[in-house]
Chain A
Amino acid sequence: MATKGNKIPRTPVREQDPAIRATNFEEVCLGYDEQEAMLEATRCLRCPRPRCVQACPVGINIPGFVGKLADGDIKGAADIIGLDSSLPSVCGRVCPQETQCEGSCVLGIKNEPLAIGKLERFTGDWKIAHPEQFETAPATPNGKRVAIVGSGPAGLACASDLARLGYDVTIFEALHKAGGVLVYGIPEFRLPKERIVAKEVETVQKLGVKIETDVVIGRTMTVDQLLDDEGFDAVFIGSGAGLPRFMGIPGENLNGVFSANEMLTRANLMHAWEEEYDTPIYQGKRMVIVGGGNVAMDAVRTAKRLGADAVIVYRRSEAELPARVEEVHHAKQEGIDFRMLTNPVRILGDESGKVCGIECVKMELGEPDASGRRSPVEVPGSNFTMDCDVVIMALGTSPNPLIKDTTEGLEVTRRGCLVADEEGATTRKGVFAGGDAVTGAATVILAMGAGRKSAAAIHEYLSEK
């Protein structure tokens, strides 16, 4: 079995043609069909001490579910994933597999690693298409109520685990739609909203979880009110890290400069690219996106789809791009212009205050800094300007201070992240937190994992109470 697995090349996955997809918002990767998935699954070596499992932030039994797939038992595969992950069709699409499971796959030493992400996605999508096979008897209500702040992956995961344990759970979401970054940030072409995200949210609702949108905790109600007036026994905060950073360089408030969050929210949550929706989006001919993470890749590829010439400006080199490898690869195929080792110093405006260019300086990599990454330093005198009419800042985000500012006894770190222990317990009794709100901007799988850990901790706390 093992030797056979080694010889089969990685099953290629079907994708939309780059030239066509750069003009539409449909999903880029089409995923495996059943035959392809089964073929790919047979490549797994079933290592006795699987390194992929150790590298998975939530420890999914990868050889276990892949084995079921190889046997044609898709339901069995989904059940195994379900033990550790509640969002397989999302994580299969957006996890940085190359630094997690696939990055540790033994097959990858000599050949290409097993396509674990694509197999997870296949299994998750099958689960969505066959909801009747996953119906569970509703849990017996235990009479206790938990409030969840935020409907991103952390909140959704925490809510569904608690609902399964019999808790009466309500999610409060500030925006008009549930899903967090999955609906407002990550674009349709990478994560379909109706077909996937809405279905995952429905699954959570089917467990009896109530979702109240348009409720901003800290304003509409405070955490204290949830506990004291609204009768909740515990609160989980999964409010994410939505506050965008800007560079603080001259020209940043010119017309035509946006945070990636604004551009992506307009495009994804508000459907600004669709004619029949009312929200406008600022259309540029040449749009420069500053940054190199997933957010930057999503913004630049959205810019391209809006019909602009789209450029990435990043201060380190390609090797340091923090984005998923697949996204960088897709972006290149779509004709995105990558300017590495380049950093903006000033945004230029015309007499009416609209962006007309950006002045950058060339960078080179110096000594490794505290994080071990070689830090970029300016090359003196290498300034140059580029014409453009839109500049998008994708420099990272930090947690919104609203909840901390309005909740007694909730401590935060210097970077504004909520202080919480391994289980998600904050410095305030009965209040738990997880996901980006605690770690700062991280990943979907970590947020989901944190939500589940907190659900267990809340269960323990309320069982003792």
Chain B
Amino acid sequence: MYPILTKKLLAPHIYELVVEAPRIARSAQPGQFVIVRTDAKGERIPLTICDYDRERGTVTLVIQEVGYSSRKICAMEPGEKMADVAGPLGRPSDLLELSDEELRAKKILFVAGGVGTAPVYPQVKWLKEHGVEADVIIGAKTASMFTYVEEMRKVGRVHLCTDDGSEGFHGMVTGLISKLVEEDGREFDHCVIIGPMIMMKFGSLTTKKYGIPTIVSLNALMVDGTGMCGACRVTVDGKTRFTCVEGPEFDGHLVDYDEAMRRQAMYRDNPKNNPETHKCSCHGN
């Protein structure tokens, strides 16, 4: 069992949970994820590791309430225990393979949106610890939806944008990428985009235009997370890949996003995914 130590509302419907999982905290690397199951009847849900504390033995998870199971996770309170947290799963971020010199020679841009901001944080923080200050674009619909901005400012150069112009650049992340490159004359030779699939799709199209090699972190549906079922199949460069073991990071310019989005919606109509129709015995609803 994995106790929840703290819970914080970061933005409407977005929560941060710090969970005790010493073995995972000990081996977690930026880019990896865990699979959690709230209780004996719960689903196995993949969540990116947003931070980890090896000494305290904790991992930090950020969850947005969307379907049935994410609401169930968000309804858990400190003191309660998750039945399972397994990981760290997936390959660590490619950046981790570079030497400090190679890293310092790189001009890295991160692009984050929605709950994608949280998983970008450990990577930027890790880079900072290795002497590299990266640029980070954080996009949101409106200013109240921003998460992790303060934390991120401590470790990287932050650029904000909102769809409604309530804070930062008025427009989407794609517009801000173009502005940095075209108007501000910034050069980047590595980009990491993490966020909703649609944002990764258009973000990658934009970086492709500027010839910036781009990595995306795919949030495919999963069951086991160990390569045993193929639920997480995506097409990259025309080949089928298992996100949970070969990813979650892939070359953003080669991912078939339309297929990935379609597969992500596989159970959207399923009655179990609908809090109205799937009633569960726990949490008394």
Spell out A's residues near B (CB within 8 Å). Answer: 174-176, 184, 213-216, 219-221, 242-244, 246, 248, 252-253, 255, 258-259, 261-262, 265-266, 270-272, 276-280, 282-283, 352-353, 400-402
- Across the interface, do B226 and A174 meet the contact criterion of CB distance under 8 Å? yes
A184-B228, A261-B228 given. 12 additional CB < 8 A pairs?
A176-B84, A220-B87, A242-B226, A244-B230, A252-B240, A253-B235, A259-B229, A261-B229, A270-B44, A278-B72, A278-B280, A280-B272
Q: Which residues of B contact A262 (CB under 8 A)?
A: 223, 229-231
In this assembly, does B43 line the interface, its C-beta being within 8 Å of a C-beta of chain A? yes
**11 A-B residue pairings within 8 Å (CB atoms):** A176-B86, A214-B85, A243-B228, A246-B240, A253-B234, A253-B263, A261-B228, A261-B230, A278-B272, A283-B270, A402-B226
Q: Which residues of B contact A216 (CB under 8 A)?
A: 86-87, 89, 226
- Across the interface, do B27 and A219 meet the contact criterion of CB distance under 8 Å? yes
Cβ distance A412 to chain B, nearest Cβ, rounded Å? 15
In this assembly, does B227 line the interface, its C-beta being within 8 Å of a C-beta of chain A? yes
Instruction: Say which residue of A213, A246, A265, A276 sits within 8 Å of B224 (CB atoms).
Output: A265
- Across the interface, do A221 and B27 meet the contact criterion of CB distance under 8 Å? yes
In this assembly, does B157 line the interface, its C-beta being within 8 Å of a C-beta of chain A? no
Q: How far is the CA of A307 from the CA of B271 in the complex (A)?
A: 16
Q: Per-position contact with A for B101-145: 1 when CB-CB < 8 Å, else 0? A: 000000000000000000000000000000000000000000000
Look across to chain A and name the residue whose beta carbon is closest to the beta carbon of B230: A259
- Across the interface, do B41 and A176 meet the contact criterion of CB distance under 8 Å? no
Cβ distance B121 to chain A, nearest Cβ, rounded Å? 21
Q: Which residues of B contact A219 (CB under 8 A)?
A: 27, 32, 87-89
Look across to chain A and name the residue whose beta carbon is closest to the beta carbon of B278: A278
Interface of A is mostly: loop
Cβ distance A309 to chain B, nearest Cβ, rounded Å? 20
- Chain B stretch 37-70: residues in CB contact (< 8 A) with chain A: 37, 41-44, 68-69
- Across the interface, do B228 and A400 meet the contact criterion of CB distance under 8 Å? yes
Cβ distance A150 to chain B, nearest Cβ, rounded Å? 11
- Across the interface, do B44 and A279 meet the contact criterion of CB distance under 8 Å? yes
In this assembly, does B24 line the interface, its C-beta being within 8 Å of a C-beta of chain A? yes
Q: Which residues of B contact A270 (CB under 8 A)?
A: 43-44, 223
Q: Per-position contact with A for B239-271: 1 when CB-CB < 8 Å, else 0? A: 010000100000000000001001101110011
Q: Which residues of A contact B224 (CB under 8 A)?
A: 174-175, 265
Knowing A279-B43, A280-B273 are in contact, say whether A400-B227 is a contact too (CB < 8 A): yes
- Across the interface, do B223 and A265 meet the contact criterion of CB distance under 8 Å? yes
In this assembly, does B8 line the interface, its C-beta being within 8 Å of a C-beta of chain A? no
Q: How far is the CA of A262 from the CA of B226 in the complex (A)?
A: 12
- Across the interface, do B262 and A353 meet the contact criterion of CB distance under 8 Å? yes
Q: Which residues of A contact B153 (CB under 8 A)?
A: none
Instruction: Say which residue of A175, A243, A266, A279 sits within 8 Å of B227 (CB atoms).
Output: A243
Q: Which residues of A contact B88 (CB under 8 A)?
A: 219-220
Q: How far is the CA of A259 from the CA of B230 in the complex (A)?
A: 6
Q: Which residues of A contact B27 (CB under 8 A)?
A: 219-221
Going nearest first, the 4 A-B pairs with the smallest beta carbon separation are: A262-B229, A242-B228, A214-B86, A280-B270
Q: Which residues of A contact B235 (CB under 8 A)?
A: 253
Q: How far is the CA of A265 from the CA of B273 in the complex (A)?
A: 18
- Across the interface, do B240 and A220 meet the contact criterion of CB distance under 8 Å? no
Q: Which residues of B contact A242 (CB under 8 A)?
A: 226-228
- Across the interface, do B85 and A278 meet the contact criterion of CB distance under 8 Å? no
Q: Which residues of A contact B240 (CB under 8 A)?
A: 246, 248, 252-253
- Across the interface, do B84 and A214 meet the contact criterion of CB distance under 8 Å? yes
- Across the interface, do B41 and A278 meet the contact criterion of CB distance under 8 Å? yes
- Across the interface, do B245 and A265 meet the contact criterion of CB distance under 8 Å? no
- Across the interface, do B68 and A278 meet the contact criterion of CB distance under 8 Å? yes
Q: How far is the CA of A253 from the CA of B259 in the complex (A)?
A: 8
In this assembly, does B159 line the interface, its C-beta being within 8 Å of a C-beta of chain A? no
Q: Which residues of A contact B83 (CB under 8 A)?
A: 176
In this assembly, does B285 line the interface, its C-beta being within 8 Å of a C-beta of chain A? no
- Across the interface, do A255 and B266 meet the contact criterion of CB distance under 8 Å? yes
Q: Which residues of A contact B24 (CB under 8 A)?
A: 220
Q: Per-position contact with A for B75-93: 1 when CB-CB < 8 Å, else 0? A: 0000000011111110000
